[in-house]
A and B are shown apart, each in its own frame.
Chain A
Amino acid sequence: MTYVLFTLSVMLVMGFVGFSSKPSPIYGGLALVVSGVVGCMIILNYGGAYLGLVMFLIYLGGMMVVFGYTAAMAIEEYPETWGSGFEVLACFLVGLMMEVGLVLWVLDFDEVVVMVGFNDMGNWVVFEGEGSGLVRSDSIGAGALYDYGRWLVVVAGWTLFVGVYVVIEITRGN
């Protein structure tokens, strides 16, 4: 199926339209989780298995869970879904129509097959000589964070530490 990446990117845009049309935050969180899953599948098709896993664990499993709990605190009696009010439905349908228009324009514009990723074998790095053999390039590149990017690790760790203090001070009030 040569159009799988194009279809996935269209589904990504539809998921983004789903939470940008501002339904109730619970349904917005649901649309964001679906968009995250579709985005992870796009990343996997480009050969980035490690970064897809990072996105699932940290983005969906960490940040979205926190958002879900906070949205549950802000929930009202009758949450507004996509079909209930007129404005949300209108924004959603207009967004979908624009995406359908883009798809028709793109498929009419370039006659050749829409580009799929280049990486059939290319993301397996082979080292010369004895030793390593096959290495995945995305996890090796992210591992270089602790080698070439050690100052970035220190700065990011300090940022997270100070961020916790900022959150405590904000929620303390007064």
Chain B
Amino acid sequence: MPSIYINIALAFTISLVGILTYCSHLISSLLCLEGIILSLFIISTLTASNMHFSLANIIPIALLVFAACEAAVDLALLISISNTYGLDCIHNLSLLQC
């Protein structure tokens, strides 16, 4: 397996671990989600170019469309949390309801 694909898959895994671990801000996890999408874009583009499979160039563009939708909804949730609690700290978020 070429070393370049190993590095890009490693970048995907590092971003995945970044989503699963929480620090003080919620937006840091959203940035790691954008990192996942970036690594998926790069891998699908390299695969389409390497195999000379021109039709597969549709996949990165469609991925970017749905990633933009998902980033918009994520940021809307962040804004609504920030409007409710004043800041997007993880400590404010709780599933407990009185």
B54 CB to closest chain A CB, in angstroms?
3
Contact call B18/A19, Cβ cutoff below 8 A: yes
- Dominant secondary structure at the B interface: helix
| A118–B2 alpha-carbon span in the complex (Å) | 12
Which of B35, B48, B78 has most A Cβ within 10 Å? B35
With A22-B18, A25-B27 already in contact, the answer to whether A58 and B73 are too (CB < 8 A) is no
B32 CB to closest chain A CB, in angstroms?
6
Out of A16, A144, A148, A163, name the residue touching B14 (CB < 8 Å). A16
- Chain A interface (Cβ < 8 Å from any Cβ of B): 5-6, 9-10, 12-13, 16-17, 19-25, 28-29, 32, 35-36, 39, 42-43, 46-48, 50-51, 54-55, 58-59, 62-64, 66-67, 70-71, 73-74, 76, 87, 95, 99, 102, 106, 110, 114-115, 117-119, 122-123, 125, 137-142, 144-145, 148-149, 152, 156, 159-160, 163-164, 166-167, 170-171, 173
- 25 A-B pairs in the complex with CB atoms less than 8 angstroms apart: A13-B7, A22-B23, A28-B28, A32-B38, A39-B41, A48-B49, A48-B57, A51-B61, A63-B67, A66-B72, A67-B30, A74-B78, A74-B82, A87-B23, A115-B2, A118-B50, A138-B57, A141-B56, A141-B57, A149-B58, A163-B69, A164-B72, A170-B77, A171-B79, A173-B80
- Dominant secondary structure at the A interface: helix
B4 CB to closest chain A CB, in angstroms?
5
Contact call A137/B42, Cβ cutoff below 8 A: no
List of B residues within 8 angstroms of A47 by Cβ:
49
Contact call B31/A28, Cβ cutoff below 8 A: yes
| A122–B35 alpha-carbon span in the complex (Å) | 30
With A43-B46, A46-B45, A140-B54 already in contact, the answer to whether A102 and B6 are too (CB < 8 A) is yes
| A35–B35 alpha-carbon span in the complex (Å) | 8
List of B residues within 8 angstroms of A24 by Cβ:
25
